[in-house]
Structure formats: structure tokens, C-alpha cells
């Protein structure tokens, strides 16, 4: 945050703002003077008219006036000053727990007051505790009515200070240049920047403060639009810089090898897979680096698309790196890639943090010489010591687990002057609106079709108290030759705690299900141990696999038809949906049991209800977004795109289309304005990544 200050004018330049105050303001995200105008009020105090005391309701802020009819100091140890005022229609008590002698001398019978505060029920009549007050002449005219803004504040930051600072910032028009073209604003029916800021910070007596507060007011929408646009521009710039920094190899369509791969697969690609494969092949045939995201629900068949892309790279003499977020998933990919590509003469290597020193040395040497053509691994592939002979393609599975930074770091692993193509795959179905902002630097392909022969998973939510029934279900399923998963989840716990909980559960289940073969897999096992357990499960030598969320992505055992998820109420819908995707991979009817701890809160009930009703990851993600907000859905704030000051993706979702439409043209025609907008809203430091 502090480097923001370098890019603007430090707050300490404002009169009355010293380093201490500036430090406090920084906690509100206010670092530069230029930030202040975009700190919007939470609400407004209605000082537009004087209300009659007889009509005063409790719980609302109101401006009132009246004559003091009684004034006294009461109480022994907890002294208080109580004044009663009356305006002929009713009375009100003003209560002061802290007061000075001269206030007591001023607030005496017969004096006329104008008072602003919130009325609350008192023992005798409505009261205002510590209201704002001033002494006025009995018939003094009301000064021009106003709505007084109340800003989000924090400890040690008074409203009066915020108002003064923001007022001072608004008085520096040189920092509030209008960067949006008038024609664009006109087309969208949005006000100019100065009108919008005036409407928000100093609404006139006729203003619709409700609309200002809920964000439906054109002034707020205008600011939200500008903010979303700035973020979009920033990501497009990032993408441009990336693509311009170096060309990528032009890769042919590798027709022959791909035909042979398809023949050997044993299944035909779905229409969606074919479409996406063409999109990928087209990107790779251009000399610009591909930056493509494949979104596809669990089981939609993304891996084989990655294999075909790798084949394209290899066929033209380049290398491909496939990266997965977990050891287990990387291992599974390695097996798929070996099975698919080795028969075609492609040499597949393996690199993870748990490779032995010898394995690692061999792999690094093979990559450097070019003997290994496709390498599968974990983030160990990012390390500086990994050098490629000619890296032409990087595939990243489950992008949301990697930062944009890491993705960009791989760019530098290309061969002299060329950078690799990038293919990113995610099963986290992100609603279109969110994808556009979170992944604006990527083109998006969607696999919106599951391979044939899948039966939707039947989902039920059951309280913990019915655990015994659930155990019976497992027994039945396994007797019928099926396999089952039992997923132990702890929220925010360490890998160690999670592993311990899973161990205890596995022991207990093994006792309760005597006769069944129960195995355990968790993140604390060595790669070899995990792999051996998974192999046994795949081979049908294990009936019930007790696991932590390490099985969340990728694991593929079609004979497993039952999944139990503990503590389901505490997991995100997207995560639950992904876990559930481990079953329903074959033709048998599969089930998923969501175990929860009763009583279930209303939100939790609604959320589990969504999972029961739908198997459509996109629908689930949209509902999850509505209920939990975007930050949680992506599981991380790494993109930075979600930390908006004013915009709200749910509220302002309809602005995204106009933002998307306007951005490219603006970049082309007004580069200077774009830089200024990015500086204003995103900051100099490019929150997303360093290019
Ligand atoms: P995900 O998109 O979740 O990564 P996978 O690539 O792991 O899905 O595919 C899930 C399973 O479906 C794998 O066993 C894969 O071989 C198989 N598969 C992929 N495409 C098809 C298809 N078109 N028809 C039948 N099975 C397919
Ligand atoms: Mg996958």
C-alpha cells in the first residue's frame, strides 16, 4: 500500500493531517489525497428540515428545535444533565453524561435550541443522548437544508476530520480530471465526474439518499463504472505487455499424432471438447503467446485437451510443462499423460517437491537437454533451477490455486526470445461476470457438456446424528461391489490437524465396518504412500477411502459411487461441488451425503439446498456468489480484482458489459487517459502482477 503514496500526493500535505492521522486513515485504505474523493459516505444525516417533536419516532436521526422547559443535573455518582425541550407539539429529553460547567450554564430554561440526534425511548419520553446542539434565536430561519455525509471510519478517526479532509481533497480539481469521453457517458446516461462527486458528498435537499446509499443512483454507478473500467484496462494492459514482450513459437496442428491419440483413447470427444480443442490449436498456430483459460465442470474432460496441446508442442520440437496444484493430482496427470503420449513415442518426465535428489537431477538434465518432452509436476516446476531446452507450452491445472504472478513467472522459461503458450484449466465454474474481471487477461473457452453416460449425482443433507444410517449405506454400497469416499474436512486447520482427524475417523470407521477394506489418504503422507493408497483404491483393492480434501481435484475412480462429506455446512459450495465430482464418473447412480452439525442456520440450509437441487457447477457458483460474495468464491484474493472501493459485482453486474465494450477502444484511442484511470483506481504498482 505504501508505494501508492509515491504515486500520488501524501495525505500529510493536507492542513491538519499529520503522520499519526495519516497512519489512521491508511487503515481505511486512504493513502493518497487522490483516494479521498472516492471514500463514499455510508449514510447521510437528514438535516434538510426540522421535524415536529410530536411526530418524532424512535430510531431515526432527526433535526428538531424547541425551547428548554426544564434543566437539571441528577444522579449521585453517575451525574447527568437532562434538559427537556418543547416545541408546542411535543417534548423531548436531551441527556448528557459528560458536560462542562459552562454548558450547564448555557442550557437553561427559556433558551431556544436546534438539535440533531437519534431519538430513543426513555423512561418518561423520547430521549436523545449527546445530540449535536446549538442555541438559536426563537424564530431563526433554517440554514439551507442539507444531508450531512457519514463516512466509514475507524477508531481515532472522527467524522469531522474525514469531512474536512475529503472536502479539502474535493477542492483540488487538478486531481479530479474527467478521463471518460463525454460521448461514452452520454451513451450510458451517466453524469460527469464532478457532478457525480458533488452528488455523493454533498447531496442537495431534494437528493434521493436511499439511491445513493444502495448504489442505484447514477452518481454512484458512474463511479463504479469508472472503477471497473480502470481494473479492466489494467488487466488488458498487462495482457498486451505480456504478448508484446516476446513472440511465441508457431505450432502446427500435428494432425497425424493427434489422430493416433484420438484412435487410442477409446472414446470420442464431445462436441464441446472438439470446439475447445480447435480454439486452442488456433491460438497456438499464431505467433502470439496463447493466454487461454478452459473452464469446464468436474469430469468434463479437460485433461485430454491439455494432452492434445502438449502433442502439438512436442510434434514441432518444443517441450510442454503441465502443472497441478497438488502432488496427488500431478501424479494422476502424469499417469494419464504417460498412458496417452508414451505410445506415440513422447518422453514424459516428473518433477515435484518430493522427487528424490536423483530423480530431480535426472529430470532437470533431461529437460535441459530436451530428452524429456513433456514434464508433469507441481509448483516445483516454477523454480529458478528448472531450465528447459525449448519450452513451448505451459499448462496450469486449477488456476485459482496459483497466483497470476506464478503464471507469469513461467513466461521467462522460454527459449531465447520466445515465450511459451499458456493454457489454464479450472473446474471452479466461475460465473461469466466474475470470470471477466478475475481473468480479464485470459481468453476463455468453456466445456459446457459432460461426456455421455454420466448419471447425475443424487445429493442429500443429513445431520451428524444419523451417522449410523450413513455407515449402513456404505456397507450396502460396498457389498454391491461399489467403492466409497469419506471426506474429513476441517476449516482453517493445519494439514497436521486435518490428517489427525482423518486418522481417527478412519480407525473408527474400520471398526464399525469390520470386513470392509478401509484406507486413508491425507496430505501428510509421502508421495509414494499416497500413490500406493490411490492405486489400491483405483484397482478396487480398497472399499472405503477416508480422505482429507486432498482428493478434491482430479482423482478419477469411476467405480466409486458414494461420497460422504463431513462438516459440509462449513465448506464453500464450489468446493463441495468439486468434491462431489469425484463420484458420478461411471454409469451407476451415485450419491453424495452432506453431513452437518445441527442446528443448521438459515444461510447454511439455503446453501446445502442449492447443492441438492443442482448438478450444474455454473448455477451453483452463481448462487454461491450471491450468498457469499466474490472473494470467497475464488478462494483467494490473489487477483486483486475483487478489492473494489466502490463497485460491487453483484450490484453492478450490469455495468460489466459496457465496461468490456468500452475498454479496447479507449486503450487504442486514449492511452494517456487509460494510464491516469489505472493510476487513480488501481495504483501505480499494478496490483495484479509485475510485468
Ligand atoms: P476434468 O475436466 O474434471 O479434469 P478429466 O479430464 O479428468 O475431467 O476427465 C474425466 C474422465 O472422463 C477421465 O477418465 C477421462 O478420460 C474421461 N473422458 C474425457 N473425455 C471423455 C469423452 N469425450 N468421453 C468419455 N470419457 C471422457
Ligand atoms: Mg482435471
Residue nearest to atom 19 of ligand 1 (CA): 301
The DSSP call for residue 491 is T
Q: Whole-angstrom Cα distance, residue 273 to residue 294?
A: 10
Give tens-digit pLDDT for 190-240.
999 999 999 999 998 889 999 999 999 999 999 999 999 998 898 888 888
Nearest-atom index, ligand 1, CA of 269: 23
Identify the burial level of 399 via C-beta atoms within 10 angstroms of its C-beta, where 0-12 means exposed, 13-18 middle and 19 or more buried: buried
> Above 90 in pLDDT, residue 131?
yes
Ligand 1 centroid, distance to 587 Cα (angstroms): 13
Return the CATH number of the domain spanning residue range 50-141.
Answer: 2.40.50.140
Give tens-digit pLDDT for 308-341.
999 999 999 999 999 987 777 788 899 899 999 9
Q: Whole-angstrom Cα distance, residue 649 to residue 621?
A: 14
Return the CATH number of the domain spanning residue range 458-614.
Answer: 3.40.50.300
Q: Whole-angstrom Cα distance, residue 465 to residue 477?
A: 21
Among all bound ligands, the one having the nearest atom to the CA of 330 is 2
| Residue bearing cell 474481471 | 437
Nearest-atom index, ligand 1, CA of 302: 2
The region, left, alpha or beta by phi > 0 then psi within -120 to 50, assigned to residue 61 is beta
Model pLDDT, residue 379: 82
| Residue bearing cell 509448483 | 379
Q: Whole-angstrom Cα distance, residue 247 to residue 512?
A: 61
pLDDT category of residue 501 using cuts at 50, 70 and 90 = confident
Q: Whole-angstrom Cα distance, residue 573 to residue 571?
A: 6
Nearest-atom index, ligand 1, CA of 453: 25
Estimate to the nearest angstrom the gap between the alpha carbon of 102 and the chain centroid: 54
Ligand 2 centroid, distance to 397 Cα (angstroms): 7
Bridge partners of 425, per DSSP, are 294, 397
CA distances from 519 to 528, 538, 635 (A): 15, 12, 29
Among all bound ligands, the one having the nearest atom to the CA of 447 is 1
- Among 303, 396, 538, 557, say which to mutate for ligand 1: greatest number of ligand atoms within 8 Å of CB: 303
Q: Whole-angstrom Cα distance, residue 273 to residue 451?
A: 9
Ligand 1 centroid, distance to 298 Cα (angstroms): 9
Provide the residue count of the chain: 691
HEC states along 632-658? HHHCCCCCCCCCCCCCCCCCCHHHHHH
Q: Could you tell me if 467 and 595 are in contact, meaning their C-beta atoms sit under 8 angstroms apart?
A: yes
Q: Which three cell numbers mark 227?
A: 472503477
Ligand 1 centroid, distance to 302 Cα (angstroms): 7
CA-nearest of 35, 27, 37 to 7 is: 35
Q: Which three cell numbers mark 70?
A: 426544564
Ligand 2 centroid, distance to 583 Cα (angstroms): 14
User: Can you name the CATH fold of 255-447?
Assistant: Rossmann fold (3.40.50)
Residue nearest to atom 5 of ligand 1 (CA): 301
> Above 70 in pLDDT, residue 400?
no
Residue nearest to atom 24 of ligand 1 (CA): 451
Nearest-atom index, ligand 1, CA of 303: 6
Q: Could you tell me if 306 and 329 are in contact, meaning their C-beta atoms sit under 8 angstroms apart?
A: no
What share of the chain has pLDDT > 70, as a percent?
89
The region, left, alpha or beta by phi > 0 then psi within -120 to 50, assigned to residue 29 is left
CA distances from 521 to 462, 492, 503 (A): 24, 19, 9
Residue nearest to atom 16 of ligand 1 (CA): 301
Instruction: State the DSSP string of 51-68.
Output: EPGGG--TTSEEEEEEEE
CA-nearest of 277, 367, 369, 260 to 322 is: 367
Residue burial 654-683, b: 16+ Cβ < 10 Å; e: rest: ebbebbbebbeebbeebeebbeebbbbbbb
CA distances from 374 to 14, 355, 419, 589 (A): 58, 16, 16, 37
Greatest CA separation found in the chain? 101
Residue 522 phi, psi dihedral angles, 5° rounding: -150, 175
Among all bound ligands, the one having the nearest atom to the CA of 302 is 1
pLDDT category of residue 140 using cuts at 50, 70 and 90 = confident
Give tens-digit pLDDT for 4-53.
444 688 899 888 888 988 998 988 889 999 999 999 999 998 888 889 99
Please give the order of strands across the beta sheet that includes 560-565.
Answer: 458-463, 591-596, 560-565, 483-487, 544-547, 518-521
Ligand 1 centroid, distance to 267 Cα (angstroms): 9
Q: Could you tell me if 295 and 276 are in contact, meaning their C-beta atoms sit under 8 angstroms apart?
A: no
Ligand 1 centroid, distance to 301 Cα (angstroms): 3
| 544-547 and 483-487 beta bridge pairing | parallel
Q: How many helices (H) and strands (E) does the chain have?
A: 24, 22
Q: Which three cell numbers mark 135?
A: 442555541
Residue nearest to atom 9 of ligand 1 (CA): 301
Q: Whole-angstrom Cα distance, residue 33 to residue 14?
A: 8
Model pLDDT, residue 615: 81
Ligand 1 centroid, distance to 584 Cα (angstroms): 12
Nearest-atom index, ligand 1, CA of 296: 2
- Among 325, 451, 558, say which to mutate for ligand 1: greatest number of ligand atoms within 8 Å of CB: 451
CA-nearest of 190, 181, 32, 58 to 120 is: 58
- Among 301, 331, 336, 451, say which to mutate for ligand 1: greatest number of ligand atoms within 8 Å of CB: 301
- The domain ranges of the chain are 3-44+151-205, 50-141, 255-447, 458-614
Among all bound ligands, the one having the nearest atom to the CA of 336 is 1
Task: State the average pLDDT for the chain.
Answer: 86
Ligand 2 centroid, distance to 635 Cα (angstroms): 18
Ligand 1 centroid, distance to 409 Cα (angstroms): 29
Model pLDDT, residue 492: 60
Max mean pLDDT range (189-193, 497-501, 660-664) = 189-193
Instruction: State the DSSP string of 124-150.
Output: SSEEEES-EEEE--TTPPPPS-EEEEE
Q: Whole-angstrom Cα distance, residue 210 to residue 202?
A: 14
Q: Whole-angstrom Cα distance, residue 484 to residue 477?
A: 8
174 half-sphere exposure, CB direction, 13 A CA radius: 2
As a whole number of Å, the CA-based R_g of the chain is 32
**Ligand 1 proximal residues by C-beta, below 6 Å:** 267, 269-270, 273, 296, 298-304, 427, 451, 556
Domains 255-447 and 458-614 share a fold: yes
- The neighbour count for residue 56, using CB atoms within 10 Å, is 19
Q: Whole-angstrom Cα distance, residue 126 to residue 333?
A: 70
Q: Could you tell me if 186 and 222 are in contact, meaning their C-beta atoms sit under 8 angstroms apart?
A: no
- Helix ranges, 189-217 (H): 193-201, 209-214
> Above 80 in pLDDT, residue 677?
yes
Lowest-confidence segment of 315-319, 371-375, 523-527 by average pLDDT: 523-527
Q: Whole-angstrom Cα distance, residue 547 to residue 523?
A: 9
Q: Choose between 257 and 173: higher pLDDT.
A: 257
> Above 60 in pLDDT, residue 522?
yes
439-445-448 Cα angle (round to 5):
120
Among all bound ligands, the one having the nearest atom to the CA of 397 is 2
Ligand 2 centroid, distance to 299 Cα (angstroms): 7
Ligand 1 centroid, distance to 425 Cα (angstroms): 13
Among all bound ligands, the one having the nearest atom to the CA of 553 is 2
Q: Is the peptide bond before 268 cis (omega within 30 degrees of 0)?
A: no
Model pLDDT, residue 552: 56
Residue nearest to atom 10 of ligand 1 (CA): 299
Amino acid at each position: 500500500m505504501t508505494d501508492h503514496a509515491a504515486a500520488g500526493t501524501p495525505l500529510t500535505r493536507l492542513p491538519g493531517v499529520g503522520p499519526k492521522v495519516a497512519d489512521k486513515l491508511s487503515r481505511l485504505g486512504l493513502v493518497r489525497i487522490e483516494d479521498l474523493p472516492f471514500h463514499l459516505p455510508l449514510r447521510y444525516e437528514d438535516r434538510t428540515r426540522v421535524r415536529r417533536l410530536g411526530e418524532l419516532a424512535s430510531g431515526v436521526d432527526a433535526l428538531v428545535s424547541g425551547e428548554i422547559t426544564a434543566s437539571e443535573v441528577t444522579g449521585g455518582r453517575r451525574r447527568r444533565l437532562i434538559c427537556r425541550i418543547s416545541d408546542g407539539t411535543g417534548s423531548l429529553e436531551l441527556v448528557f453524561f459528560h458536560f462542562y460547567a459552562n454548558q450547564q450554564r448555557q442550557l437553561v430554561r427559556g433558551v431556544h435550541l436546534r438539535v440533531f440526534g437519534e431519538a430513543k425511548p426513555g423512561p418518561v419520553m423520547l430521549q436523545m443522548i449527546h445530540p449535536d446542539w446549538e442555541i438559536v434565536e426563537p424564530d431563526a430561519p433554517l440554514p439551507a437544508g442539507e444531508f450531512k455525509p457519514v463516512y466509514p471510519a475507524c477508531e481515532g478517526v472522527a467524522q469531522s476530520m474525514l469531512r474536512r479532509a475529503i472536502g479539502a481533497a474535493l477542492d483540488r480539481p487538478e486531481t479530479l480530471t474527467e478521463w471518460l469521453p463525454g460521448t461514452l457517458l452520454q451513451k450510458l446516461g451517466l453524469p460527469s465526474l464532478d457532478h457525480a462527486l458533488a452528488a455523493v458528498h454533498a447531496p442537495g435537499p431534494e437528493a434521493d439518499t436511499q439511491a445513493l446509499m444502495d448504489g442505484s443512483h447514477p452518481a454512484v454507478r458512474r463511479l463504479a463504472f469508472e472503477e471497473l473500467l480502470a481494473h479492466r484496462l489494467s488487466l488488458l494492459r498487462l495482457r498486451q505487455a505480456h504478448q508484446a514482450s516476446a513472440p511465441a513459437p508457431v505450432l502446427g496442428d500435428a494432425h497425424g499424432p493427434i489422430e493416433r491419440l484420438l484412435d487410442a483413447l477409446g472414446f470420442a470427444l464431445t462436441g464441446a471438447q472438439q470446439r475447445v480443442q480447435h480454439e486452442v490449436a488456433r491460438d497456438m498456430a499464431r505467433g502470439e503467446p496463447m493466454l487461454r483459460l478452459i473452464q469446464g465442470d468436474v469430469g468434463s474432460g479437460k485433461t485430454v485437451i491439455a494432452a492434445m496441446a502438449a502433442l502439438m508442442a512436442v510434434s514441432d520440437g518444443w517441450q510442454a510443462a503441465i502443472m497441478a496444484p497438488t502432488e496427488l493430482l500431478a501424479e494422476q496427470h502424469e499417469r494419464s499423460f504417460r498412458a496417452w503420449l508414451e505410445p506415440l513415442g513422447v518422453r514424459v518426465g516428473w518433477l515435484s517437491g518430493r522427487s528424490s535428489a536423483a530423480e530431480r537431477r535426472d529430470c532437470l538434465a533431461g529437460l535441459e537437454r530436451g530428452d524429456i518432452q513433456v514434464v508433469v509436476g507441481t509448483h516445483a516446476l516454477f523454480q529458478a533451477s528448472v531450465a528447459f531446452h525449448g519450452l513451448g507450452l505451459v499448462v496450469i491445472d486449477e488456476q485459482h490455486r496459483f497466483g497470476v504472478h506464478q503464471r507469469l513467472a513461467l513466461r521467462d522459461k522460454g527459449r531465447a526470445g520466445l515465450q511459451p503458450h499458456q493454457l489454464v484449466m479450472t473446474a471452479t465454474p466461475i460465473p461469466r461476470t466474475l470470470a471477466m474481471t478475475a481473468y480479464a487477461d485470459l481468453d476463455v473457452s468453456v466445456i459446457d457438456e459432460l461426456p455421455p453416460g454420466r448419471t447425475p449425482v443424487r445429493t442429500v443433507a443429513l445431520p451428524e446424528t444419523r451417522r449410523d444410517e450413513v455407515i449402513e449405506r456404505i456397507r450396502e454400497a460396498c457389498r454391491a461391489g461399489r467403492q466409497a469416499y469419506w471426506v474429513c474436512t476441517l476449516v482453517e486447520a493445519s494439514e497436521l490437524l486435518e490428517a489427525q482427524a482423518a486418522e481417527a475417523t478412519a480407525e473408527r470407521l474400520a471398526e464399525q465396518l469390520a470386513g470392509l477394506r478401509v484406507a486413508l489418504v491425507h496430505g501428510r503422507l509421502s508421495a509414494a504412500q499416497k500413490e500406493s493408497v490411490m492405486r489400491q483404491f483405483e484397482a478396487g483393492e480398497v472399499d472405503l477411502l477416508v480422505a482429507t480434501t486432498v482428493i478434491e481435484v482430479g482423482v478419477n475412480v469411476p467405480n466409486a459411487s458414494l461420497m460422504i462429506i463431513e462438516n459440509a455446512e462449513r465448506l464453500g459450495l464450489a468446493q463441495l461441488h468439486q468434491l462431489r465430482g469425484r463420484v458420478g464418473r461411471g454409469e451407476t447412480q451415485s450419491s453424495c451425503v452432506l453431513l452437518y452439525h445441527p442446528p443448521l442456520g438459515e444461510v447454511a440450509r439455503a446453501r446445502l439446498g442449492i447443492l441438492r437441487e443442482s448438478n450444474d457447477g455454473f448455477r451453483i457458483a452463481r448462487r454461491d456468489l450471491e450468498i457469499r460474495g466474490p472473494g470467497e468464491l475464488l478462494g483467494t484474493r490473489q487477483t486483486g480484482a475483487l478489492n473494489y472501493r466502490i463497485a460491487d459485482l453483484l450490484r453492478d453486474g450490469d455495468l460489466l458489459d459496457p465496461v468490456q465494450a468500452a475498454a479496447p477502444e479507449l486503450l487504442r484511442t486514449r492511452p494517456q487517459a487509460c494510464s491516469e484511470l489505472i493510476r487513480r483506481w488501481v495504483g501505480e504498482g499494478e496490483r495484479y502482477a509485475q510485468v
